[in-house]
Every structure is written in structure tokens, then in C-alpha cells.
Amino acid sequence: MPNLDSVAHQALVDNGFAPELDEASSRELAGLRPASLTPDVRDLRALPWSSIDNAESRDLDQVEVAEELPDGALRIRLGIADVDALVPKGSALDKHAATNSTSVYTGVHVYPMLPEQLSTDLTSLNEGQDRVALVIDLVIEKDGTPRSHDVYRGMITNHAKLAYDSLGAWLEGRGPAPDAVAKNAELQRQIWLQDRAASLLKTMRDRNGALEFDTIEATAVGTDGKVTALAVTRKTRARDLIEDFMIAANVAIAQYLAEQGRSAIRRVVRQPKRWDRIVALAAKYGATLPAEPDPKALSEFLGARRAADPLRFPDLSLSIVKLLGPGEYVLDKPGPSDDQGHFGLAAHDYSHATAPNRRYADLVTQRLVKAAIGKAPAPYTDDELAAIAAHCTDRENAANRVERTARKAAGAILLERHIGTVYDAIVTGVNKDGTYVRLLSPPVEGRVVHGERGMDVGERVRVKLVATNPNKGFVDFDGVSQANP
């Protein structure tokens, strides 16, 4: 049976990544120690910080804490790992991180942007460890309206590492409280307060027309590179909480840099080129969308479909996500901008700043923010930022290709004994390279090599498995018929 690790490693190399650390970076790494408390760093270790992430995650970029103010407003503070404190611009480790620009998640193995001694230890906000962080301080009114934001450095301690699935089950009334929460009344109060704040933030975004999706994410499960199953990750209230906080923090960072008159890297999702196909999909459900792209109208349509058919909503979500197209990084100069914002989030000002261990754009943004806090000159010129933005977009697309290859390889391994089987599927892509589908069960992706004529994104079809090649990540189907809706 093919080894998924070897397939993923080869895909990384083929797509221009550097999986191994060079000698200069290794020497730097050997001499690093955690950042310490300095006069410009506030001591915030007594606050009841906690983190929420995947149970297996060790590269913790973010912790949170909330409080209710006397007038009923809510104060949310997010601590973001100060990776720049140990990986300064121009260092060997910085150059290594810039080359890869993102961590790559292949299911059974993670290829981190920064070596694990940093990303899972020295710069990770691990439970019980004192760490320097960039603190994003937000205050929202009782209805979720933003009141103020500030950014500063702080020393924090993560007092509880919580996991999405167990915490989400508790918040939704589907399971018991995680041990750390059950044993700590203050932490219980904290989580419910954070949940309330996140709900207010989501409500405010919904009013502005932000799009709410629920896509199925399948990752390989196995050991030693051998795939035994595909696990499906679904959204929970705990995932929503962190997503809402991250979006608010990324908006606040973009606005902070703009207020300081600083150039930045912005994250944008442009108006969809295939809006006509989105309109056609909505019409199949009896809904009418305007002829021109309108996130508010699309948001209302998606909300109605979620309520009407929650079981099939992930399939519709996947179709819309594919039709919206990918995001990209762009240079954002001070002053008025004619650049488009983030269509999916209904936000004009949006950065990536909350995952500096995992994304190079976030690390660069962190340096820009720290320079602004210290009233120091910008660490990058506009030309440098534009080049970094383009490179990060390219590397993100390459990482998506690697991850897609790994998912297909995992699917090919699982399906290689089922040649000739007919499956229900949804069309996920139609372009010059071919027509692609994702099976409804198991959620394996592949290409339709025959009988694809007339298929378009969002359609339900029936396909027959005709070939698999785990080493290349190929899963091939023949189109059979239109599936029942």
C-alpha cells in the first residue's frame, strides 16, 4: 500500500517547498530561548487566558479572554504569539519561513512553516507557559457594534488548552463540560462570556451581508503514513467562536495600520466572476438573486437554505465557495483605496494577523504593527510588501495543491478496491483542466475523465470509479447520470 507521507513529501518538493531546515537556520534555532518580559511588555499573566484549537494542535497562535464592562459592553482581548520576537526580519529562520510562506496540512502529517521547536514550543502559546504576545484589545457595544480597538505587547499565560470538538459539544448541549472547564467555575463563566461576545460579532457581520458556509472538510486518518479512514470536520459553536474572534481581530489590525498611516498587506476576495452561475443555482431553489454581485442578497439566500435543508447545506456551501474563487494578498497603501474588500466577509478592511506561526503574511503584518506601536520606521517598502503579497498568494495556492494531492491520494488508497462502484457526487470544479467532483460518501475528490459534458458546479451527478493512482493522487470517474436532487 502506498505511503501517504511519501506522496505528500514529493508533492511539496514538486511545488517548490523546502521541507527540511538548512544549516544556518538550524544554528539559529539551537541558540533561541523564549522571549522575556521587558519594559514595553505589559504583564497580563493573571488574566484567565485560554485557547481553543484542534485537540491535536500544538502550534497555538492565539489565546482569548473577555470581560463585561460596567455599562454592559464587552471587552475582548486576543493574544497572538509574538513570533517576530524570536524570528526577526532577515534572519536565516525568517528566510526559511518566507520560502515556504505557510504551513501545509496533509492529513497524517503537518509540514510547518517554522520548525517545530518554534511553532509548537518557543513561540507557541502552550498551556502553563509564560509567553510574549501581541494583544488585540477590542470593545464592542451590547449590540455587537465596535466601540474601540487597541494593540500592544503583553506577557500572557495560557491557563487552559481547550479543544473544538469537546468544548463545542458542551456549548451545544450535546456533551459534558471538558475536565478543565468542569473543574473551574471562572473558566466556565469565561467561555460563556466569550460565546456571547462571538454571537454578537456574528450578528453584526450578518447585518452587513457576510456569508456563512458549512463545508465538509475531510482529512486522512492513519499512522505511519498509512490511511485507515477519512475523518469529516464540521463546524461547531466552539469553532464559530474562534472564527468570529479571528475575523474581528483581523479587521481591527487592518484598521489600526490604516489609522497609523502605514502600508500593509490586505486579504481580499474579489467579486465572483461566475456570479451568473450562483444566480442560476439559487434559481433552482426558487430564489432570485440580483444580476450584479450582492453579498447581502447571497447571505440571505444561504441563511434560508441552511434553515430549510441543513443536511444538504454543506453541498450547496461547497458549490458557492468554489464559485466565489480564492482569496489573495495585496498591497494596501495609506489613504483611500479603490481595491475591493473581502466579498465573503462583507469587510473592506481585512488582514491576516492571527496565525504568525503558520502564515508568513501574518508574521510580516506583526512586524508592521510592532513598528507602528513603537513609532519606528516601516520595516518594509511598498515594493517589498507587494512582492511578499504576491509570493504568499502563490505559496498558498501551491499549498492547496499539495493538500489536494494528499487528500486525493488518501481517497485513492481507500477506494482502490472499489473500481466499478457507482457513487453520488457533487460537481466542484469545471475549468480548462477538467471537471471535478466530490463523492457524497466517502467525501473523496476526483476528476471525471469521460461523460463530463454538460456538468457544472453545484450539480448532483452519479459517477463510476474507473481508476486510482495513490502515488500521483489520481481518482478518475466516468459520468453516469444526473443524480436525484
3-state per-residue secondary structure call for 323-384: HHCCCEEEEECCCCCCCCCEHHHCECCCCCCCCCCCEHHHHHHHHHHHHHHCCCCCCCCHHH
Does one domain contain both 240 and 305? no
Residue 24 lies in a domain: yes
Do 226 and 317 lie in one domain? The reply is no
Which residues are CB-contacts of 20 (< 8 A; sequence separation ≥ 6)?
Answer: none
Is 10 a domain residue? yes
Does residue 198 sit in the same domain as residue 291? no
SS3 call for 176 = coil
Smallest Cα–Cα separation from 22: which of 99, 74, 87?
99
Does the residue 279 lie in any domain? yes
Q: Are residues 313 and 428 in the same domain?
A: no
First to last CA, the chain: 36
d(C-alpha 42, C-alpha 152), whole Å: 8
Regarding whether 130 and 197 lie in a shared domain, the answer is yes
Same domain flag for 40 and 172? yes
Please tell me the pTM assigned to this model: 0.88
Residues contacting residue 426 through CB under 8 Å, at least 6 positions apart: 315, 318, 319, 437, 438, 440, 458, 459, 460, 461
> Are both 166 and 22 inside the same structural domain?
yes
Q: How many helices (H) and strands (E) would you count in the chain? A: 13, 18
**Which domain does 59 fall in, by range?**
4-251
Q: Which residues of the chain have pLDDT under 70?
A: 1-2, 215-233, 337-340, 344, 346-347, 482-485
Instruction: Give the pLDDT confidence score for residue 322 in this predicted structure.
Output: 84
Report the alpha-carbon distance of residue 403 to residue 106 in Å, rounded.
5
Cβ atoms of 279 and 289 within 8 Å: the answer is yes
10 Å CB burial of residue 191 (0-12, 13-18, 19+) is buried
The verdict on residue 223 lying in a domain is yes
The CATH number covering residue 437 comes to 2.40.50.140
In the block, residue with C-alpha cell 481553543? 52
* Residue 85: Cβ within 10 Å count: 22
Same domain, 284 and 159: no
Cis (ω within 30 of 0) for the bond into 442? yes
* Residue where one domain finishes, among candidates 325, 355, 385: 325
Residues 314 and 222 in one domain: no
Cβ contact 113:100 at 8 Å: yes
Same domain? For 223 and 116 the reply is yes
Write down the pLDDT at residue 154. 97
Same domain, 238 and 305: no
- 126: cell is 502552550
Q: Are 253 and 352 in contact (CB under 8 A)?
A: no
Distance CA 88, CA 102 (A): 17
Q: How far apart are CA 334 and CA 265, in angstroms?
A: 11
* pLDDT confidence of residue 223: 59
Number of domains in the chain: 3
**Distance from C-alpha of 126 to C-alpha of 36, rounded to nearest angstrom:** 15
Work out whether strand 146-157 and strand 42-43 pair parallel, antiparallel, or are unpaired. parallel
- Chain-centre distance for alpha carbon 48: 25
Q: Measured between alpha carbons, how far is 78 from 47 in angstroms, rounded to an integer?
A: 12
pLDDT at site 310: 84
Q: Are residues 222 and 156 part of one domain?
A: yes
Q: Does residue 189 lie within any of the structural domains? A: yes
Q: Is residue 371 part of a domain?
A: no
Amino acid of residue 192: W
Here the cell at position 60 is 497555538
Residue 227 domain-assigned (yes or no):
yes
Q: Are 62 and 136 in contact (CB under 8 A)?
A: no
Residues paired with 63 in a beta bridge: 79
Check residue 107 and give its pLDDT: 75
Query: Which residue type is seen at 23?
Result: E
153 in any annotated domain: yes
